[in-house]
Amino acid sequence: MARVRTADGVFYALLALTAATFIGEIFFVFLRTPIEARMGIVQKIFYFHVPSAYAMYLGATACFLGSTAYLVRPTDARDAFARAGAETAVVFGAIVLTTGPLWGAKAWGTFWTWDPRLTTALLSLLIYVAYVVLRSFAGDGSAERAGSAALGVLGAANLPIIHFSVQKWGGQHPTVITGKGGGLQDPNMKLALAVGFLAFTLLAILLVWARTRVELARSRLRRAEEDAIDLGLDPRTEA
Q: Which residues bind other proteins (CB under 8 A)?
A: 39-42, 44-45, 48-49, 52, 87, 91, 94-95, 98-99, 102-103, 105-106, 109, 203, 207, 210-211, 214, 217-218, 221, 224-225, 228, 231, 233-236, 238-239
Helix (H, G, I), strand (E, B) or coil at 40: strand
Nearer to other proteins, 23 or 102 (CB): 102
Nearer to other proteins, 16 or 214 (CB): 214
Residue 151 neighbours by CB under 8 Å, 6+ apart: 67, 127, 130, 131, 134
> For residue 127, which amino acid is it?
I
Cβ atoms of 42 and 89 closer than 8 Å: no
CA distance 62 to 58: 6
For the chain, the straight-line distance linking the first and the last C-alpha, in angstroms and rounded, comes to 30
Nearer to other proteins, 132 or 161 (CB): 132
DSSP letter assigned to residue 179: S
| Least separation in angstroms between CB 166 and other proteins | 21
| Least separation in angstroms between CB 214 and other proteins | 5
| Least separation in angstroms between CB 165 and other proteins | 22
| Least separation in angstroms between CB 62 and other proteins | 15
Nearer to other proteins, 126 or 161 (CB): 126
Nearer to other proteins, 55 or 153 (CB): 55
CA distance 200 to 54: 8
Within 28-145, strands assigned E span none
Nearer to other proteins, 108 or 169 (CB): 108
| Least separation in angstroms between CB 48 and other proteins | 6
| Least separation in angstroms between CB 164 and other proteins | 26
Distances (CA, A) of 106 to 34, 42, 101, 173, 214: 18, 7, 9, 13, 40
